[in-house]
Amino acid sequence: MNLTTTQHFFQSATLKLTLTYLSIIMLMSITFSVVFYNTSSRQLGRQIPRSFTTSGGFGIRVDGGIIGGQRQEVEQFFQQRVDEGRHELLMRLFFLNLLALAGGSLLSYALARESLRPIEETMEAQNRFVSDASHELRTPLTALQTTNEVALRKPKLNIKEAKALLAKNVEETEKLKNLTDGLLGLLKNSNSFSPQTISLQDIVSEAMGQIVQKAQARQITVNDEVADTKVLGNKTSLVQVVAILLDNSIKYSHENGKILLTSSTKNKFAYLNVKDEGIGIKDEDLPHIFERFYRTDMSRSKITQEGYGLGLSIAHKIIEQHHGEISVESKLDKGTTFTVKLVLAD
């Protein structure tokens, strides 16, 4: 569903919900008016003295002097007053209902907007996600298409060129796989995990195992000084977070760089620091790096083009689900430190 379709859908949903709420309000108001009118009208009828309302009252003396033939006039007088009363009541109830209609319309509209807002926001976020994801998927797909088309246009393709083409295809497919894995990671909801007591050291060791080759390939030293602190969480997810931070530190470090992992505790929390001496992040980029698909200009051009700007948003989401925090401090050309705050196990 594109944006205008979504807007159109919500406009018509708001209208329908407003009408539903308004019908309920008006049904209640009209029912109340009918009951009130009937009760009050009966009450008014009882105001006519009994001697006039019962048959065979001819000749009964009323109010010290009215007798016989004048009875009809007096009866008419009372009846007229009762009818006037009823008419006035009817008019008042009519205006009351008009007021209910006007006020009810505004109230119903406000209620409808309020009820639909969370759904609208979720749908907008989903639309944005799909549109961002499609945009990102297009880049490797286009590269794949172009290389294949260029190769096909050649009248003859020798084995060396064919192998190079296949290698390029595998490379682009690998990128696509990483991207779809990242997208799935963002969609995964690990809210349902039951927190376990895990050692911070174990989490770090497992994450190190995943990046060791990459670090060696760039001659980057990773020093692990993490204490055997026990935290609450889901091991697989937390290993993923540390692996993302380490992977970034390697990607954005200079060759022969150094990465240091340390930990500390304060009150009921454990803190894990991943510090590198890499390219750093500009101040203006810092507030955005946890946003989905956000990549700084530096990461796009200088050191590596690898990545889709999904890693930190996945890490942020996981840490949020752990009721923890993830923060960053960075100095351009000096290095970056990411700190993960986690709940200590008792």
Distance CA 115, CA 19 (A): 14
Candidate list 281, 319, 326, 340; residue touching ligand ADP; CB under 6 A: 281
Candidate list 33, 229, 237, 336; residue touching ligand ADP; CB under 6 A: 336
Q: Do 188 and 226 touch, CB atoms closer than 8 A? A: no
Cβ 210 to ligand ADP shortest distance, Å: 15
- Kindly identify the residues of this chain, within the stretch 81-120, that bind ligand ADP according to CB under 6 A: none
Q: Does 258 engage in binding with ligand ADP (CB under 6 A)?
A: no
* Closest CB to ligand ADP among residues 239, 298: 298
Cβ 281 to ligand ADP shortest distance, Å: 5
* Closest CB to ligand ADP among residues 111, 186: 186
Q: Does 218 engage in binding with ligand ADP (CB under 6 A)?
A: no
Cβ 20 to ligand ADP shortest distance, Å: 44
Q: Do 222 and 208 touch, CB atoms closer than 8 A? A: yes
Total number of residues that touch ligand ADP (CB under 6 A): 23
Cβ 308 to ligand ADP shortest distance, Å: 5
Cβ 327 to ligand ADP shortest distance, Å: 13
* Closest CB to ligand ADP among residues 108, 336: 336
Q: How would you list the strands of the sheet with 221-225, edge to edge? A: 221-225, 258-266, 269-276, 335-343, 325-331
Q: Which stretch binds ligand ADP (CB under 6 A): 50-58, 82-90, 190-198, 292-300?
A: 292-300
* Closest CB to ligand ADP among residues 220, 289: 289
Cβ 311 to ligand ADP shortest distance, Å: 3
Candidate list 299, 339, 340, 342; residue touching ligand ADP; CB under 6 A: 299
* Closest CB to ligand ADP among residues 198, 244: 244
Cβ 235 to ligand ADP shortest distance, Å: 21
Cα 225 to the chain's mean position, in Å? 38
Q: Which stretch binds ligand ADP (CB under 6 A): 93-101, 102-110, 116-124, 275-283?
A: 275-283
- Kindly identify the residues of this chain, within the stretch 230-249, that bind ligand ADP according to CB under 6 A: 244, 248-249
Candidate list 257, 309, 322, 339; residue touching ligand ADP; CB under 6 A: 309
62 vs 171, 178, 246, CA distance in Å? Answer: 110, 101, 105
Cβ 288 to ligand ADP shortest distance, Å: 8
Q: Does 311 engage in binding with ligand ADP (CB under 6 A)?
A: yes
- Which residues of this protein are in contact with ligand ADP, per CB under 6 A? 244, 248-249, 252, 276, 278-281, 289, 294-296, 298-299, 307-313, 336
